[in-house]
Structure 1
Amino acid sequence: MKLAPLRLATVAAFTLAPLLALGATASAAVQTINYQVRASALGQTAELVLNQDIDSTAPASVAPGGAVKVTIDPAPNTVPSSGGGYQIREIKTIALKMPIPANATFVSASVSGGSGLGSAAPAIGREGNDVVLKVAGPLKGGAAFELPTVTLNLTAGSSGKIESRLGGTGYDAPGLTFTAVIIALGFPVNAASVAYPNPSPVLTSTTIG
């Protein structure tokens, strides 16, 4: 039993899109992120480029040693029920990395809100030099959901700029991972997906001083 690479890539694209579509707010800066995606299942891999808009907010300036709050507020969305000719039963084990910016000290991270994310509450915390949002799921195919609002609290350094970005530099160091469970020939198949932004633009920039 084999999955054609193009069809497998389409499954990944249909699955990843709602995870990254973030709702706009009046003060948000909207940017388009080009994610390089690789999906793997049944010994095959497929690659594609996925374009998504990201909304992010942070203060334009801050005094040395001052508090900086970066907020990402996802909009409600719907898990696709099919993609590439395959039924999507669910997606699960979602992890999104956000590096701790230079010229800032990490204080805390929190999530609020969210719905349709499974029985386990979303978790967020520091892992090395990253803040990682984790959603265990499962998120059923065709179901409505809303990722939680993420707030990063930082303390400004003495000078320079605090620039926030999404994590990931390559397939071996992805910034986004998840598993899509698809139905192939009547059987559930886990399609592991990894992604990174290319290029990786600055989402917010806060000048110290």
Structure 2
Amino acid sequence: MRSTLLKTAAAVIAAVAASAVIAPTAAAATTDIVFDCRGDTPFGAEYMTLNQTVDATAPATVSPSGALDIVVDPAPNQVPSEAAGYTVREVRDFTLKVPVPTNSTLTGVTLTGGSGLGSTPTWSESGGIVTVSFAGPIAGGASFELPTITAHLTAGASGAIESTLYGTSYDDPGLTFTAVVSTFIGNVSVPTSCFPNPNPVLTSTTIG
């Protein structure tokens, strides 16, 4: 039950993650991201692997000190209404962290569009880490569409601008969320922490 729910919620966030760090270019690169996750349930920790495919785009080259945008437009999705015989009530409290790529400076993030999220996504930056979050909730069985996310960057003097996700362990996660399900003991909240393992390079732009 919890594994199915975690996969669904993680798919929501993984799309946000990819969006926050990716930019527009001629062609999209498809990357399969594998997350290691730990859900803290009343019955103990549950471990699982989540898989999420991401279409990422970025310019192949940019001039020194030049501007570039990194953009992702996630496809519509749906939260399951049932998992292992239990009712999925909602998923909520999403947070996704993405490092600002080396050899670049973040000038802003634009979130546009999206529907069925239960709240308005926001972003913040601190210490070179961008955090995209929204409270939800997204009800079980509901359809939703994540916003298009555009990261605005300024290139450095030289080198490559490589976008990746954040997170190195369950205690230093890049993706967190809470799943709520109905069980024989009542509604159960499952806080979940995930990190990409391995952490692939999503896009690469050469400065020059």
What TM-score, normalized to structure 1? 0.90
How far off is 1:81 after superposition?
Answer: 1.2
Equivalent in the alignment of 1:125: 124
Q: Please show how residues 126-205 of structure 1 align to structure 2 within 5 Å.
A: 126-185=125-184, 187-205=186-204
Contact 1:89 1:140 in 2 (8 A): yes
Output the amino acid matched with 1:187. G
Other structure's SS at 1:152 match: strand
Other structure's SS at 2:98 match: strand
How far off is 1:101 after superposition?
Answer: 0.6
Contact 1:15 1:80 in 2 (8 A): no
Equivalent in the alignment of 2:67: 67
How far off is 1:11 after superposition?
Answer: 3.0
Other structure's SS at 1:161 match: strand
How far off is 1:200 after superposition?
Answer: 0.4
Q: Deviations over 1:31-50 (max 9, x none)?
A: 10011011111151111111
How far off is 1:15 after superposition?
Answer: 3.3
How far off is 1:160 after superposition?
Answer: 0.3
Other structure's SS at 1:15 match: helix
% identical aligned pairs: 47
Equivalent in the alignment of 1:44: 44
How far off is 1:127 after superposition?
Answer: 2.7
Output the amino acid matched with 1:168. G
1:70, 1:138 → 2: CA distance? Answer: 27
How far off is 1:67 after superposition?
Answer: 0.4
Output the amino acid matched with 1:181. V
How far off is 1:26 after superposition?
Answer: 7.6
Contact 1:90 1:181 in 2 (8 A): yes
How far off is 1:186 after superposition?
Answer: 5.8
Output the amino acid matched with 2:162. E
Consecutive unaligned residues in structure 1, runs of 5 or more = 1-6
Consecutive unaligned residues in structure 2, runs of 5 or more = 20-24
Q: Which shifted more, 158-167 or 84-93?
A: 84-93
Aligned counterpart in structure 1 of residue 14 of structure 2, from 1, 20, 28: 20
Quickly say closer, same or farther: Cα 1:154–1:104, change in 2 above 3 A.
same
Equivalent in the alignment of 1:3: none
1:28, 1:20 → 2: CA distance? Answer: 17
Quickly say closer, same or farther: Cα 1:134–1:18, change in 2 above 3 A.
closer
1:19, 1:78 → 2: CA distance? Answer: 13
1:26, 1:162 → 2: CA distance? Answer: 17
How far off is 1:18 after superposition?
Answer: 4.5
